[in-house]
Amino acid sequence: MSENTLSGKAAVITGATSGIGLAVARALHAQGVHLVLSGRSAARLDPLVQELEAAGLAGDICDPGLPAALLELCLARYGRCDIVLNNAGIIENGPIQTIDIDKVCAMVRVNVEAAYRVAYTFMRHFTACGAGHLVNLSSVMGTKVRPTNGAYAGTKYAIEALSEALRIEVAGTGVSVTCIEPGLVRTELHRSWPVPPGEALGIAAPLEPEDVARAVLFVLSQPAHVRIPRLMVLPGEHQI
């Protein structure tokens, strides 16, 4: 990554208030990218907006109007929108027959329905401009399953399928689509687990959010003729 091709571009990040979204926001800011940040918690969003000289819009990503509002804010503030990190997400874990089905459906609304709406809104804009990059936060669980992880994996398989179809549909244009597929990352995602996930999965050194941010930067910094449809990033100990 010698030449900075990102400076002056504008990016929207969903789920920017913690974990991977926050690390990517800081990494893009350091590259001179203008930011629109979103998350539910205004109390967490406001100081971040100050820190990163960004625009912010707090809200539930399941609100069908939020993706368009984020795009409009980006265009109004910066006159352009080049990148969206489609990142807001939650996890529910448990055996399929005993998992709380209402919580699973709520997860599907965030991880699938809202993520599809974000993709729909921004891809239409990128296609009209003939340029832009949709970066979807999938997971290593977007291509693999293990017991107790089927419901969450199902939401990430859905993201992979959408991304692959989109990539083919826009091939030959200036628009790019990428799925980032991290293994275990040390974030707040697993906050409700009774045992820390590193312990439960036997991973002493999970990824840090900054490890994923470096991968996102790598994907976004490629020459115009290069596409990276998928990038899996794993902790060295991840036996999967």
Look up tokens 């293990």; give the residue: 146
The answer to whether residues 21 and 210 touch, using CB atoms and an 8 Å cutoff, is no
Distance CA 201, CA 184 (A): 9
d(CA 22, CA 209): 8
Q: Looking at the DSSP assignment, which residues form a beta bridge with residue 134?
A: 84, 177
Out of 182, 216, 219, 238, the only residue in the binding site for ligand NAP (CB under 6 A) is 182
Site string for ligand NAP, 84-123 (x = CB under 6 A): ---xxxx-------------------x-------------
SS3 216: helix
Tell me the C-alpha distance between 222 and 135, whole Å. Answer: 13
Q: Is 192 in the site for ligand NAP (CB under 6 A)?
A: no
Name the active-site residue from 78, 116, 152, 157. Answer: 152
What is the closest distance, in whole angstroms, from the C-beta atom of residue 101 to ligand NAP in the complex? 18
Extended beta strands in the chain, E state: 10-13, 34-39, 55-58, 83-86, 132-137, 175-182, 230-233
Q: How far is the CB of 224 from ligand NAP (least distance, A)?
A: 27
Q: x/- string (CB under 6 A) for ligand NAP, residues 15-54?
A: xxxxxxx-----------------xxx--x----------
Minimum distance, C-beta of residue 226 to ligand NAP, in the bound complex (Å): 23
Minimum distance of ligand NAP from residue 163's CB (angstroms): 13
Q: Which of 170, 187, 201, 220 binds ligand NAP (CB under 6 A)?
A: 187
- DSSP bridge partners of 182: 233
DSSP 109: I
Query: Which residue, 4 or 40, is less far from ligand NAP as judged by CB?
Result: 40
User: Shortest CA distance to 187 belongs to which of 173, 206, 172?
Assistant: 206
Q: Is 152 a catalytic residue?
A: yes
Residues near ligand NAP (CB under 6 A) are 15-21, 39-41, 44, 60-62, 87-90, 110, 137, 139, 182, 184-185, 187-189
Write out the catalytic residue numbers: 152
